[in-house]
A = this chain, B = another copy of it.
């Protein structure tokens, strides 16, 4: 491979990601200027609430920037780097191991060219750590040291960063039996202004084929003080935990199953399957039917308690069994599959699609459904919103494709607003900034093509980071 002279400067261009055509860029600059400093609303993500409740100092650069970011370590793994050497899977790295892992990142930095991880990391290094040279084999140690020095400082604790980042609302993702004491701690702290809300994520409790299903039901009974020995008790316990979450600030429930097929079993049939599941003798077909039925039940409960329902379907989890066995889940080999919404959601929407207050946000990793299914659904049902590009699609060109596929059928006001969906806490501002730049560019293009007046584009750009996410997530 040709080699580069090292020690190149790192500087974030003020026009990054804006349209390259000069006239359109001028418009985009004006739109972006109106939104760049607005507070961040992050209604769906994976930051651990204890980081904020305990205001835990970060330990080292790799644990902060590499090990928790599956976008980053998956591509290193593809380059032949061992996950062990990156601290993935829970085994903590020594100080020297952390430095070695950082060097591995630097050595393979070319692998990230053109990816959003590169864009976010550059933003974090420059904006958060004041790094002024590009990451490379030669600069790796200097940058590592600078990060390590910075994260020691008190102004670098999570709560201080929330403030510095301008995060107004941050949603975490939580287990239904969680006691949410971290969230209460934060709410009760008068000195902590941001709103940190939990999200009800019941996937495991809706999958009766799981080997640990009976244990989960025991946990659910304990948390809710409701006997889950019967299907009726199970429903009541779930309703109870949803109310508890709502009382503790939750605005939404989140669901990520293999598909979004929905159906309604009659109560006797549902009870029969539930009983079999408790006894560990449920058939795969019954288990799938029950999960699909429970998705409709979640919608039914949503019409009662008002939690927004978000769907993130269509991922083959833990594709590589040996890696799962060695490093656990969420280790970079969840691979998307096709997904279908039109037929799958029809039973659910037939019952609740126009129900008062019901809101359903549809996310996808299968881009083909955007223009074909999600936008047409969001363009008719008052309950349905097109979710922002998610996961692999949370990247500049994928975001442009998203707007291109959705807007012409559903406009801007049937979309969810940006979600960062991340546990890479430091990258939250860079991710929202990326989204604002791209939306400014998309709107500028509409103006440049005379499809929209600039005053309207400006209003829409502002709405996209204020009223639109607030409405979609009932904030």
Contacts and interface: CB of A to CB of B under 8 A. Distances in A.
A104 B21 CA distance: 37
- Number of copies of this chain in the oligomer? 3
Contact of A459 (B4, B21, B398): B4
A18 interface: yes
Interface string A361-390: 000011110011101111111101000000
Interface string A332-356: 1111111010110010011001100
A373 B392 CA distance: 10
A149 interface: no
A60 to B, nearest CB: 25
B342 A371 contact: no
Contact of A20 (B404, B448, B459): B448
Contacts of A373: 335-337
B455 A8 contact: yes
B379 A78 contact: yes
A273 to B, nearest CB: 25
A416 B225 CA distance: 57
Interface in A397-441: 397-398, 401, 404-405, 407-414
A279 to B, nearest CB: 30
A81 to B, nearest CB: 9
Given A114-B407, A319-B349, A380-B332, A13 B78 contact: no
Interface stretch (A41-49, A105-113, A178-186): A105-113
Contacts of A463: 1-2
A321 interface: yes
Interface in A453-475: 453, 455-456, 459-460, 462-463, 467
A92 interface: no
A24 interface: yes
Contacts of A455: 4-5, 8
B380 A449 contact: no
Contacts of A15: 450
Contact of A114 (B114, B408, B459): B408
A303 to B, nearest CB: 14
A311 interface: no
Nearest to A399: B408
9 contacts: A16-B449, A20-B23, A20-B449, A75-B411, A320-B349, A338-B340, A338-B368, A371-B393, A392-B408
